[in-house]
Amino acid sequence: MRVDQGGRPLRVVLAEDSVLLREGLIGLLARCGHEVVAAVGDARALVTAVEEHAPDIVVTDVRMPPGFQDEGLHAAVRLRERRPALPVLVLSQYVQRSYAAELLDSGDGTGIGYLLKDRVGQVEEFVEALRKVADGGTVVDPEVVRQLLRRRRDPLEQLTPREREVLALIAEGKSNGAIARELVVSDAAVGKHIGNILTKLDLPQTDETHRRVLAVLTYLRA
């Protein structure tokens, strides 16, 4: 059964210190037609492996040896300092937005994913998110998004509930079409909402994709 219909197979560098999960992820990605070119168990090896293999995407755990703190995340941020366009998907056990925010601040803010590890069980969603990130999209885990929705603070205060909903779906990496389907409205209506959001958040009139990322960042920092 084909899971990923997104086209070309991706070359993945995987960093995960648990052997159990590492092997599982290699199997899962292979199943979906992607190639894990290197699978490593610590942050330093991750940096080396990326330099050596120049992968299409990096998938990494947050907590890694040697300190078992947020070495994986920091390695990802460092990698993106060198190659701002390198797509990185971070798998985390933590819902906290601090981790997602640090990651989203790195590079140019595109090609970033922050997913809960639970999400790899939802194979299809996971692979879809992987493809989106590899294509330069931004994906924030729905659980993090849900938590943020509870907070209503500036500058999100000025958004209507519907606009906030749309912004949450943008953060999850959804396209205009997908958002329209989810909210059962027309594409044009979604476009209008997004226009309003971008205006209200005072985001500069530049490239459309980039503004969406900035909107997500504003959302995370609020």
Query: Smallest distance, Å, CB 167 to another protein?
Result: 16
Note whether 3 binds another protein by CB under 8 A: yes
Size of the site for another protein (CB under 8 A): 36
Q: Transcribe 30-47 into DSSP letters.
A: HHTT-EEEEEESSHHHHH
AA letter at 173: G
Note whether 26 binds another protein by CB under 8 A: no
Give residue for tokens 């000025």.
Answer: 158
Q: In 16-163, which ranges are E strands?
A: 35-40, 57-61, 88-92, 112-116, 138-140
* 96, 186, 199, 209: residue in contact with another protein (rule CB under 8 A): 96
Contact between 88 and 113 (Cβ < 8 Å): yes
Q: Which of 29, 89, 31, 25 is nearest to 57 (CA)?
A: 89
Please report which helix (H) or strand (E) contains residue 12, including its range. strand 11-15
**Closer CB to another protein, 4 or 179, in the complex:** 4
Note whether 131 binds another protein by CB under 8 A: no
Note whether 169 binds another protein by CB under 8 A: no
**Closer CB to another protein, 94 or 211, in the complex:** 94
Contacts to another protein by CB under 8 A: 1, 3, 18, 20-21, 24-25, 27-28, 31, 63, 67-70, 93-99, 116-118, 120-124, 147-148, 150-153
